[in-house]
Chains A and B, each alone.
Chain A
Amino acid sequence: MKRMRKFAVGFAASILAAAVGVIAYAWQPAIAALPAPAAARADDQASLVARGARLAEAGDCMYCHTAQHGEPFAGGLPIGTPFGTIYSTNITPDPQTGIGRWSLAAFTRALREGVSRDGHLLYPAFPYPHFTKMSDEDIAALYAYLQTRTPVDAPAHPDALRFPLNFRPLMAGWNWLFLKKGPLAPPADAQSAAWLRGRYLVEGPAHCASCHTPMNALGAEKSGSPFAGGRIDGWNAPPLNALTRAPKPWTQAQLVAYLHTGIASEHGAAAGPMLPVTQHLANLPESDVDAMATYLMSLQPAAAAQPPAAVAVPPADAAQLRAGAALFTASCAACHADGAPMRDIGGRPPLGLGSALTADSPRNAIQLVLHGNPWNGSASAHYMPPFADVFDDQQIADVLAYARVHYAQRPAWPDVARRAAAIRKENPQP
């Protein structure tokens, strides 16, 4: 009910916004296409192209703009939003179906204002509210990089958004409400070069807040709650302003390792939607990742003088724990138990320190049990097998209860079986 009311209010607000915005912003002029595709002058622009490649990794562009088995940047990936499914666009330099005839001005306008070359408005599933903070030089570099990709003839896939949100001019109202164009204001206090670089990357191309900040009913980041946590693809994106409140407070070095390699000691492995982010951040120079970590660590509240008091664990359901223990021994212990090869030889952190198991919500733990963590082609991976077809919902509850109590030393989450059933329904069906 609360949800319906929220939606109704949001809907009314959007109508009002639209009425205002439509006059001011909806009809944007087209920017003329180039007479011929932008010539790839890669030789004299080699360093610009390399700089653009680096930004593309920071921004994770390839992940959204590449379909499964598709050519890089040729688009066609379905992206779920609360408002329906959007398909990513072809940003290869193909003259007909890509951006081969986009001028730098058109490209810049798209990144800064969310307007396509021909004037239609883009949806903020493309995080232009973040890319707007990029510098002119960086946008030019990204443009140069994309213009040197292999052109692919891949026409756009029609979107599947629910009415009335499939009416793009409504985005004018959204932009009027939520888009703050242009670069970040200088900070109030003097900051180190690393902090400044980190803020630029985090708030700009890396667009971390797109997932890690809660969304309001209109699909925009809640202005008062930056980095307070969000939801993406059915997983919780944990708050980034509470890292020092983890059972082992995150250190900067751990954050760098996590972002750069996909795993951190005393924490765990990147999984779900965060996994591809770390796979691309792995291609950045460590100095960039260190800068991002510097900025993120500055968002933390002062670490508690003492670690949080051990939570009193109420007496658990002994029968459930016994059942959970048997399931754990069969299914999980070979990797996760103390003394298991993954722990001792692989040097992996204990299960009880992982954010999925220590979070207040069981959502990520449930998703991990259902999906596991996938292979990465023939490269190495922090792999975990899926258990969606092994465990029923009650068994998921039992095994997680055991893991919570025995490994994380926290009380079992309530209601896990029902929540697992709900999450299964939410997840895309195979």
Chain B
Amino acid sequence: MITLSVNGVDHALDIDPSMPLLYALRNHLNLNGAKYGCGLGQCGACTVHVDGKPVFSCVTPASAVQGKPIRTIEGLGTPDRPSPLQHAFIDHQAAQCGYCIAGMIMRAQALLDTRPTSTEAEIRDYLQPNLCRCGTHMRIIGAIVQAFGAVAKQHTDDTHGAHA
């Protein structure tokens, strides 16, 4: 029995200890965000957070991350209440087929959480592990830059006591 803490909720799953986290999330918790793109850690479509760090869930054993907080895109926000990053992706219409996008968002969210003052060059560097085949890169970068700006503004507002 493997216990996974996903988006703040614990789940006890009777799964093979060799099962990668990707399949535990998709098939045992019915979460769609993390996707199978390669199963090799080469494309990032499966990116989720473990303990705040972005990992490839396709090569992360579910059994290895018991007891660590796991966060998927479903834990960031919903269509009705999107997080700043999700909102920015919608604003920029940053998707064509969209298959890579959940992974892009999770990758960018990790940077936003740890280095919210990153420059565009740093953002581009940080996205290197993630592939997009449709060529949506410009909008992805634009959306992320927008979200970083929005969060920076929020911090400034908070610092100056302004209310959202």
Chain A residues with a Cβ under 8 A of chain B: 69, 323, 325-327, 329-332, 334-335, 372, 375, 383-385, 387, 389-392, 395
* Minimum Cβ distance to chain B for residue A71 (Å): 14
Residue from the set A327, A330, A395 with the largest chain B CB neighbour count within 10 Å: A330
Cβ of B60 within 8 Å of any chain A Cβ, yes or no, is yes
* Minimum Cβ distance to chain B for residue A385 (Å): 3
- Are B50 and A385 touching (Cβ within 8 A)? no
> What are the residues of chain A within 8 A of B19 when measuring CB–CB?
330
Give bound CA distance, A375 to B19, whole Å.
Answer: 26
- Are B61 and A326 touching (Cβ within 8 A)? yes
Given contacts A326-B17, A330-B18, contact A390 B128 (CB under 8 A): no
> What are the residues of chain A within 8 A of B121 when measuring CB–CB?
69
- Are B64 and A389 touching (Cβ within 8 A)? no
8 Å CB contact of B18 from A329, A384, A389, A392: A329
> What are the residues of chain A within 8 A of B156 when measuring CB–CB?
none
- The residue in chain A whose Cβ has the minimal distance to the Cβ of B18 is A329
Residue from the set B51, B62, B63 with the largest chain A CB neighbour count within 10 Å: B63
- Are A334 and B39 touching (Cβ within 8 A)? yes
- Are B55 and A390 touching (Cβ within 8 A)? yes
- Are A331 and B60 touching (Cβ within 8 A)? yes
Given contacts A385-B41, A391-B64, contact A334 B18 (CB under 8 A): no
- The residue in chain B whose Cβ has the minimal distance to the Cβ of A331 is B59
Given contacts A330-B18, A330-B20, A335-B40, contact A385 B63 (CB under 8 A): no
- The residue in chain B whose Cβ has the minimal distance to the Cβ of A384 is B41
Cβ of B42 within 8 Å of any chain A Cβ, yes or no, is yes
Give bound CA distance, A391 to B55, whole Å.
Answer: 10
Contact with A along B53-84 (1 / 0, CB 8 A): 11110011111110000000000000000000
- Are A334 and B40 touching (Cβ within 8 A)? yes
Give bound CA distance, A327 to B19, whole Å.
Answer: 9
- The residue in chain B whose Cβ has the minimal distance to the Cβ of A385 is B41
> What are the residues of chain A within 8 A of B50 when measuring CB–CB?
389-390
- Are A389 and B53 touching (Cβ within 8 A)? yes
Task: Give 5 new A-B contacts, CB below 8 A, not counting A330-B19, A330-B61.
Answer: A326-B63, A331-B60, A332-B59, A385-B40, A390-B65
- The residue in chain A whose Cβ has the minimal distance to the Cβ of B40 is A334
* Minimum Cβ distance to chain B for residue A204 (Å): 35
- Are A390 and B40 touching (Cβ within 8 A)? no
The interface size of chain B toward A, counting residues with CB under 8 Å, comes to 26
Give bound CA distance, A56 to B164, whole Å.
Answer: 57
**28 contacting pairs across A/B (C-beta < 8 A):** A69-B121, A69-B125, A326-B16, A327-B61, A329-B61, A330-B18, A330-B19, A330-B20, A330-B59, A330-B62, A331-B60, A331-B64, A334-B39, A335-B40, A372-B41, A375-B128, A384-B41, A385-B41, A385-B56, A385-B59, A387-B59, A389-B50, A389-B53, A389-B55, A390-B50, A390-B59, A390-B64, A390-B65
Interface residues of B in 1-34 (CB under 8 A from A): 16-20
- The residue in chain A whose Cβ has the minimal distance to the Cβ of B56 is A385
- Are B60 and A330 touching (Cβ within 8 A)? yes
Give bound CA distance, A334 to B64, whole Å.
Answer: 17
- The residue in chain B whose Cβ has the minimal distance to the Cβ of A330 is B61
- The residue in chain B whose Cβ has the minimal distance to the Cβ of A328 is B18
> What are the residues of chain A within 8 A of B40 when measuring CB–CB?
334-335, 385
- Are B18 and A326 touching (Cβ within 8 A)? yes
- The residue in chain A whose Cβ has the minimal distance to the Cβ of B121 is A69
* Minimum Cβ distance to chain B for residue A396 (Å): 10
> What are the residues of chain A within 8 A of B129 when measuring CB–CB?
375, 385
* Minimum Cβ distance to chain A for residue B33 (Å): 18
Residue from the set B51, B54, B59 with the largest chain A CB neighbour count within 10 Å: B59
* Minimum Cβ distance to chain A for residue B116 (Å): 16
- Are B18 and A383 touching (Cβ within 8 A)? no
Give bound CA distance, A383 to B131, whole Å.
Answer: 14
Give bound CA distance, A331 to B56, whole Å.
Answer: 10
* Minimum Cβ distance to chain B for residue A40 (Å): 31
* Minimum Cβ distance to chain A for residue B4 (Å): 14
> What are the residues of chain A within 8 A of B60 when measuring CB–CB?
330-331, 390
- The residue in chain B whose Cβ has the minimal distance to the Cβ of A372 is B41
> What are the residues of chain B within 8 A of A335 when measuring CB–CB?
40
* Minimum Cβ distance to chain B for residue A402 (Å): 11
> What are the residues of chain A within 8 A of B53 when measuring CB–CB?
389
> What are the residues of chain A within 8 A of B125 when measuring CB–CB?
69
Give bound CA distance, A323 to B17, whole Å.
Answer: 8
- The residue in chain B whose Cβ has the minimal distance to the Cβ of A381 is B42
* Minimum Cβ distance to chain A for residue B112 (Å): 15
* Minimum Cβ distance to chain A for residue B143 (Å): 22
